[in-house]
Every structure is written in C-alpha cells, then in structure tokens.
Chain A
Amino acid sequence: MSAERGVGEIDVGSVELLGVTKRFGTVTAVDAIDIQVRPGEFLSLLGPSGCGKTTTLRMLAGFEDPDEGEIRISGRAVQGVPPHRRDVNTVFQNYALFPHMSVSENVAYGLRQKKTDKTEIGRRVGEALEMVKMSRLANRKPREMSGGQQQRVALARALVNRPSLLLLDEPLGALDRKLREEMQIELKLLQSQVGITFIFVTHDQDEALSMSDRIAVMLDGRVEQLADPDTVYDHPRSAFVAGFIGKQNFFEGTSRDGGSIVEGDGWTFRTSLVPIGAVDGHAALADVIQFVVLTPGRKEVIARLPRPDAPRLDVGGRVWCSWEADHTHVFGAEQAEIVLADPASDEAAAIAG
C-alpha cells in the first residue's frame, strides 16, 4: 500500500479537524473540536453516548456538514464534498450489508461504482475476502451469516477500495465478549498490515486502550484528552477521563501537601493509604476479586485484586488499603460535578494493589 504513495503525497491519510462545530437545533453535538490524525494512525474516539463521537465520524464520512470549522482529509478541505466522492470508507455499526447481494457482490460494490475492470474486481474481492478469512462464504447472503462473519464482510467491503481513511463506528459493539477480544487483535494487525488511517468510535474503554495509537476522550462534544493509551490511563487530564477510562475511587475533600493528604468532613488521610475499614462485600469478576471496603466517614473504597493474590476476607473483617502514591491524581473542585453526574462513576473502583 505504501508503494502507491508518491513523495508529494506524504499527507495521504492525514486528518485534521479544526474548530469543528455541529449543532442539531439547540443541541451542540460537537463543540469546536481540534484533532490532528497522522497518516497510518489508529485513533479512537472514546466517550459515553451523546458525547459527539459518532457525529464527528459522520462529518468525516460526509453524511453531516459541520456548522463551523474545517475538516481536511489528506491535506485537502472536504467541505461540501459528498460522501461518494470522498476517499473514505466506513464500517457501519450494524454493518449495513446489502441484503439482496451475496458476500462477494457486497465487497465488489465499491469497485463497481468506480467502473473497475471485471477481472480486476474479481481479483481484489478475492484478496479482500482472504484477508478477512471469508473466502469460503463468498456466495452466502448476509442473513445467512453470524454477526462476526458479517463484521468481517463489512470490513472487507470497506478495505477493498483502499481508502486513505477508514472509519469504524462501534464495529465490535454487537459481538459477544470473546469474539470482540479476538476481533480487537485482528483489527489491529490488519491495520498495521494495510497501513490505512483508522478512526475508531467506541464507548468501550478497554477496546480503545488495547487497540489505539492515540485516544481522544470526548465529553459533551469536546475533546477532554487526546493522548496515547498509557498517558490517558496513567495521567488522566480530568476527573472525567480518570473516571471513564479506569475503575477509580474518588474522594471529595480538601487536599494538602500537594495532594498527598486529603481532608473531608470529619476525616483526614494520606491519599495513598486509606485508614482501617470494614469489608462490606466482595465479588469475583472474571480474573479479579473486587472488595468493597467501608472506611471511617462512610467512604466507600473499591479494591480489585488479581485472583491468585487475593486474600480470603469475610464480610465485616477489618482491613486497610494502600496504593502507590503516584497512582493518585488530584483534580480541581469544579470537576467534581462532572464525575458525580456521570453514571459510569457509580461503578468506579480502585486499582489498589
């Protein structure tokens, strides 16, 4: 694929969103976002539903026009360019395979629109189906296939056109957990193989963390943080990002000594060591055991320990929890509201170890 890129086309596959705003009536779905995507990058747009990630994707595909700002794909402004003339392809949320066409006819659709020679179509469709391991089902109709198989066909149908940008709208959302994890790995391998820029929309933080080169965490139409997965995970820039990305414990109070001590209504403790509390309950989740610990001041702390290391604790037992000091992040009071308002924080848990 890279051989096709001339020296002068160094920008092929780059994406720039400059102050892009989109409103639906009185609702601002996307609010002056700036995102730069490098050619060949795997970027995830991560956020809860209604954060503007899908609208952003639809503007890139050409299904929506931004009200303000500029979108550049491969260095060219795409304002007013209709979807069928953009060098962009999309993998739709529910795959949107054409039910009246077979797998190979679905995959051939894009090439046929470009009046590609028939034998060339046959060759490329064959390659694309092989790439997603679907050659055997080339003559099936979409309704005769499982969700995972349809997913692969949708991927082949988009990639066969060799777009400079591939958009993926929660493509793994409808798959069961095991298949989803397999597809995450495959998708990532595929992306490095074809070298196409991927923009991946998801609300699943694990998915974003495991696949992306960079993640743009979005909230209320704005980008909260745009960084690589490690940075987003270890150094969340806001309380929302911290709460959305991981399972965190939040303590509301006044911090002292640069955040190492936190003081609340009737309680004070070092932020890396919670005073002795009582085990309120525990639950085994896949490969971790999760404990709920009630500390003085009725603060709930959630501790998750890997299964082999987890001690056997009874409800009511007295324990203390501690964690490394640099796993603590202090956010300004103005952000407390955001976290509390977000339902995701209901299940916030600690990475205490």
Chain B
Amino acid sequence: MALPAWVWFLSFFTLPVLWIVYYSFGYKPDIYHPIATDKLSLHSYHEAFSRAFVHVFSQTLQISIIGTTLCLLIGFPFAYWLATRVSPRWRGVLLGLVVVPFFVNFLVRTVGWLILLSPAGPVSSLLQRWGVRSEPLHLLQTRGAVQLGVVYNYLALMILPLFVTLDRLDPAMREASKDLGANRAKTFRQITLPLAAPGIVAGLLLVFIPLTGDYITALVLGGAKGNMAGVVVASQFTVAQDWALGAAQAVILIAMIMGTVAVFGLFALAIRTIVRASRRITLPPVAEEAV
C-alpha cells in the first residue's frame, strides 16, 4: 500500500529536484540556448555567490525570519484567544474569516494590497486627510511592503495549527496549574507553551518554508528594493534564460531553507533538554515495596 506514495514522491519530488541539481552544474552556451550539460562545473555557483545575489539571499532570509516571527507573535495570541475565550459559536465564524481569504487566488490577494498601499490608494489618502502625513505614502516597491505582504499571506497557516493544538488542550490543565500555585505567566510558560509546542513547530514550518521560496509577494509589492530569492530564480528561468544559474540559485535556496530549519531544530532541542533537566527531581531511595 505504501508503493503509490513512494512512486508519487519519487516522480514528482525527488526526480525534479535531482534534475535541478544536475542543471546547476551545467552552463549557458549561447544566447539561444538556456542550458548545456556537456561540461559539468561549479561555474554557476560562483556566479550565484556574487555580491548582488548574496544580498538578495540574505535579504530573503531576513524577510522570512522576521515574517515567520511576526506570524507567530500575531498568530499565537489570536489562536489562544480564539481557543480559550471565544464562545464556540463565534469561534466558527472567526475561523471562517481566517480561512476565507484563502479561497481567493494568492496573486489576487497580493494585488489587493497593491491597490491599498499605492500612493493614490485609500491608506495614503486617509492618512493625508487626517493630517498624519502631508504627502502621498510611498510604501510600494519597498522591503516593508513585502514584509507586510508575506505576513498577511501566510498568517493563516500559523493560526490554524496553533488553534488546533490550543483547542485540544484541556482547560483543566491550566486550572490544575493555578490550583497548584502557579500564576498566569508561570502557567503559560510551564503548561500551555510546552503542550502547544507541536502546533508552534508545525506553524513555523508551514509559514517559513513556503515564505522563503515565495516570489509572488515580492514580485508584486517589492520591486528592486524588496527583492527576494524566489524572484531572482524565476527570472533566470524566464527572462534571462540562464537555467544553470537559476538551478544553482534554487539549490542554494533549498539549502538555505534546510539549514535554517536544522539550526532552529537544534536550538529547540537544546532548549527542551535544558527545560527537562531543570524539571527533573531526584527522589530519595525508597525501600522497594512488596508487590
């Protein structure tokens, strides 16, 4: 029964990725051909590590780490409030409001922000009318606009897994903690947070991975100042027609995502080990009772 899953995984994931890796060692022979692989070299990687591209990669990592963190900081309080304070009837409505934007195409949603944030758009004109600003707002084509856009586009992917774990957390757990002398902050730190950890990890991965590779948000809202690696990779394959460079950049992007996840995983593991060690208590030896 596991065979179809493996076939699927192999033909639609492993092989294409290997193909990309293979192309990344090729080169662009002339302006008429995007790729040649008769001579394999690391040439494309040298090019991919040029100063301009390194800047884009580091900016991508910054945007995605800040964006994922913001999603967590906004999503957790919201999911917690939704799971613990809101009556079940309203919970459904609010969850619906979180999900409904997903029914709309990703590009359309992002273009919506284009209208909203444009210098002649509603945000800009309202700020001018209220006298907050004297001139039109120039938010578009900046890194800030991309940052805002990715948080908006990926927030729901953070909220949903968090809500599910927090909703399944028996309220008696928090009550038992308070009953045993822990105030709200201690209860949150010692009970709610560790029990919500699987949801937090799921949310972080669900947001961080697609966000780092995202190119639509940056393409629509970012311009030259808000560039992301995804845009660069896409343009190598489409505009520049240099598939070897595009493939090398794609491989670097994948490595960057995996590396960041691995570093985060090790960090989380270290914290867990420390927390567990601090919680452990040694009982004095007792005479083994007869069974």
A216-228 vs B: 1/0 string, CB under 8 Å?
A: 0000000000000
Contact B176 A92 (CB under 8 A): yes
- Count of chain B residues near A, Cβ 8 A: 27
What's the least CB distance linking B258 to chain A, in Å? 28
A85 vs B284: C-alpha distance in the bound complex, in angstroms?
Answer: 29
A306 at the interface (CB under 8 A from B): no
Given A96-B172, A100-B194, A122-B281, decide whether A89 and B180 contact each other with a Cβ distance below 8 A. yes
Contact A84 B183 (CB under 8 A): yes
Chain B residues, CB < 8 A from A112: 279
A117-152 vs B: 1/0 string, CB under 8 Å?
A: 010011101100110010110100000000000000
Given contact pairs A61-B175, A83-B178, A101-B279, enumerate 14 new A-B contacts (beta carbons under 8 Å). A82-B183, A83-B179, A84-B178, A84-B179, A84-B181, A89-B179, A92-B172, A92-B175, A92-B176, A96-B172, A96-B173, A108-B279, A109-B177, A135-B289
Which residues of A are at the interface with B, using a C-beta cutoff of 8 A?
61-63, 82-85, 88-90, 92-94, 96-101, 104-105, 108-110, 112-114, 118, 121-123, 125-126, 129-130, 133, 135-136, 138, 157-158, 161
What's the least CB distance linking A281 to chain B, in Å? 43
B38 at the interface (CB under 8 A from A): no
Contact A129 B175 (CB under 8 A): no
What's the least CB distance linking A121 to chain B, in Å? 6
B186 at the interface (CB under 8 A from A): yes
Given A84-B182, A113-B186, A114-B181, decide whether A90 and B283 contact each other with a Cβ distance below 8 A. no
What's the least CB distance linking B185 to chain A, in Å? 11
Task: Pick from B170, B180, B288, B291 the residue with the most CB of A within 10 Å.
Answer: B180
Contact with A113, one of B172, B181, B280, B289 (Cβ below 8 angstroms): B181
Chain B residues, CB < 8 A from A110: 180-181
Contact B284 A135 (CB under 8 A): no
Contact A135 B186 (CB under 8 A): no
Chain A residues, CB < 8 A from B284: 122-123, 126
Contact with A121, one of B176, B190, B281 (Cβ below 8 angstroms): B281
What's the least CB distance linking A129 to chain B, in Å? 7
B148 at the interface (CB under 8 A from A): no
A138 vs B289: C-alpha distance in the bound complex, in angstroms?
Answer: 13
Chain A residues, CB < 8 A from B281: 104-105, 108, 118, 121-122, 125
Which residues of B are at the interface with A, using a C-beta cutoff of 8 A?
170, 172-173, 175-183, 186, 190-191, 194-195, 279-284, 286, 288-289, 291
What's the least CB distance linking B53 to chain A, in Å? 44
Chain B residues, CB < 8 A from A130: 286, 289
Chain A residues, CB < 8 A from B190: 109
Contact with B170, one of A96, A105, A109, A118 (Cβ below 8 angstroms): A96
Contact with A109, one of B180, B286, B289 (Cβ below 8 angstroms): B180
A98 vs B279: C-alpha distance in the bound complex, in angstroms?
Answer: 13
A310 vs B283: C-alpha distance in the bound complex, in angstroms?
Answer: 55
A93 vs B191: C-alpha distance in the bound complex, in angstroms?
Answer: 19
Given A122-B281, A122-B282, decide whether A161 and B180 contact each other with a Cβ distance below 8 A. yes
Task: Pick from A104, A112, A138 the residue with the most CB of B within 10 Å.
Answer: A112
A105 vs B282: C-alpha distance in the bound complex, in angstroms?
Answer: 10
Chain A residues, CB < 8 A from B175: 61, 63, 83, 90, 92, 96
Task: Pick from B176, B279, B280 the residue with the most CB of A within 10 Å.
Answer: B176
Contact A161 B181 (CB under 8 A): yes
Can you list 13 A-B contacts (CB < 8 A)?
A: A61-B179, A92-B172, A94-B170, A96-B172, A98-B173, A98-B176, A99-B195, A100-B194, A109-B180, A110-B180, A113-B181, A114-B181, A123-B284
What's the least CB distance linking A157 to chain B, in Å? 7
Chain B residues, CB < 8 A from A158: 179-180
A100 vs B194: C-alpha distance in the bound complex, in angstroms?
Answer: 8
For the complex of A and B, the 6 pairs showing the least CB-CB separation, nearest first, are A113-B181, A110-B180, A96-B172, A96-B176, A83-B178, A126-B283
A83 vs B179: C-alpha distance in the bound complex, in angstroms?
Answer: 5
Chain A residues, CB < 8 A from B279: 101, 105, 108, 112
A312 vs B272: C-alpha distance in the bound complex, in angstroms?
Answer: 69
A97 vs B175: C-alpha distance in the bound complex, in angstroms?
Answer: 11
A112 vs B177: C-alpha distance in the bound complex, in angstroms?
Answer: 11
Given A63-B175, A92-B175, A96-B176, decide whether A125 and B283 contact each other with a Cβ distance below 8 A. yes
Chain A residues, CB < 8 A from B291: 136
Chain A residues, CB < 8 A from B182: 84, 109, 113
Contact B195 A90 (CB under 8 A): no
Contact B283 A138 (CB under 8 A): yes
A126 vs B284: C-alpha distance in the bound complex, in angstroms?
Answer: 7
Q: A61's closest neighbor in chain B, by CB?
A: B179
What's the least CB distance linking A184 to chain B, in Å? 22
A122 vs B285: C-alpha distance in the bound complex, in angstroms?
Answer: 10
Chain B residues, CB < 8 A from A121: 281
Contact A90 B176 (CB under 8 A): yes
